[in-house]
Amino acid sequence: MKKIFFIVAWCSAAVLADELPIHNQVENHLAEANRLRSARDAEYRAWQENKAKMETLLASLESVEKQTRIKAEADRKQAEQYKAASAELLRDEEAGAGVQQACIELMDEIHAALDQLAAVSIPGTVPAREQAYGELKEQWQQTMSRWKATEDAMQQVDVQVTVGLLNDEAVKVKALLVGTSLGWWLDENGDRAGFLVPPENTDEAVGLIEFPVSGDAKDELRKAFQIMEGRRAPHWIYLPFREVNP
């Protein structure tokens, strides 16, 4: 029995001799725990950094996508505006062409009416039509100038006393002037009447052409003078027109 106990006791002592002291074991466990904790913290920090990078990248992608969407919408609106502006410009050009054509037709009508008026008016009352030149604006101004000059001439009706030459005879007459041209004359007694002929030079006397003896022209001219002098109520008077060979 003594031998067996000795062997067991010796084995137990040998095992105890191979183990570290308890405080060393605790230190080792704490060191291992700290190492594992440090590794875990490092992995967590790396994960946090990767997460931050991914979030930044995602935000950048979202920003780029948003800017791209905004730019695409702006481009679409601008394209629509260009399309609308082009359509409006086309309509304006078509309308402008229509207005130009209407102006040209109106000018032709005005000139035609003035030409008809010139055919039955005293020479010089309606200015001759000038050759059209320049742009449409200048042509329109020419037409309006001719119209205005005709209006001014038609409003200039006056009665004057002058001396004219009738077959080289000086005759004192009353002259009915219309517009910028001379018109008709009536002698002091009212017996003779006729057309006034503008002189070629300002220092020459007015020419006189007598109406034929028969006809109503003389009576109509007397009425015209009476109206101008306030001795008769205004009404239409048809006076003869002297044709002038060009």
Q: What angle do CA 122, 127, 133 make, to 5 degrees?
A: 160
Are 29 and 108 found together in one domain?
Answer: yes
- 132 pLDDT higher than 60: yes
Same structural domain, 107 and 3: yes
User: Which residues form the domain of 125?
Assistant: 113-150
Same domain for 198 and 212, yes or no, is yes
CB 178 within 8 A of CB 126: no
User: Is the pLDDT reported for residue 126 higher than 70?
Assistant: yes
d(CA 63, CA 201): 92
Query: Which tens digit of pLDDT belongs to each residue from 2-17?
Result: 444 444 444 444 444 4
Strand-pairing partners, residue 166, are 169
User: How does residue 191 score in pLDDT terms, banded at 50, 70 and 90?
Assistant: confident
- In this prediction, residues 167-174 reach a mean pLDDT of 90
Rounded distance, CA 156 to CA 125, Å?
10
Let me know if residue 211 belongs to a domain.
yes
Task: Please check whether residues 103 and 163 belong to one and the same domain.
Answer: no
**Secondary structure string (H, E, C) spanning the chain:** CHHHHHHHHHHHHHHHHHCCCHHHHHHHHHHHHHHHHHHHHHHHHHHHHHHHHHHHHHHHHHHHHHHHHHHHHHHHHHHHHHHHHHHHHHHHHHHHHHHHHHHHHHHHHHHHHHHHHHHCCCCCCCCCCCCCCCCHHHHHHHHHHHHHHHHHHHHCEEEEEEEEEECCEEEEEEEEEECCEEEEEEECCCCCEEEEECCCCCCCCEEEEECCCCCCHHHHHHHHHHHHCCCCCCCCCCCCCCCCCC
pLDDT score of 202: 63
Q: Is residue 107 over pLDDT 80?
A: yes
Residue 15 domain flag: yes
Indicate if 213 and 188 belong to the same structural domain.
yes
Whether pLDDT at 194 is above 80: yes
Considering the domain boundaries, does residue 208 fall inside one? Answer: yes
The answer to whether position 49 is within a domain reads yes
Same structural domain, 66 and 144: no
Number of domains in the chain: 3
117 and 104, same domain (yes or no): no
Q: Based on the domain organization, do 87 and 1 belong to the same domain?
A: yes
Instruction: Assess whether 81 and 96 both reside in one domain.
Output: yes
Same domain? For 78 and 161 the reply is: no
What pLDDT digit, counting tens, does each position of 224-240 carry? 888 888 898 888 888 88
The model's pLDDT over 35-78, given as tens digits with 9 standing for 90+, comes to: 888 888 888 888 888 787 777 777 766 776 677 678 778 777 87
Which range in 1-15, 116-130, 149-163 is most confidently predicted, on average pLDDT?
149-163
Q: Give the angle 205-238-143 at the CA atoms, nearest 5°.
A: 75
- Asked whether residue 10 falls in the same domain as residue 102, the answer is yes
Q: What pLDDT band is residue 28 in, cutting at 50, 70 and 90?
A: confident
Q: Report the pLDDT value the prediction gives residue 93, as an integer from 0 to 100.
A: 63
Residue 238 lies in a domain: no
What pLDDT does residue 7 have?
A: 44
For the chain, percent of residues with pLDDT exceeding 70:
74
Position 166 scores a pLDDT of 92
Calculate the average pLDDT of the chain.
Answer: 77
pTM of the model: 0.39
Domain end residue (candidates: 59, 82, 112): 112
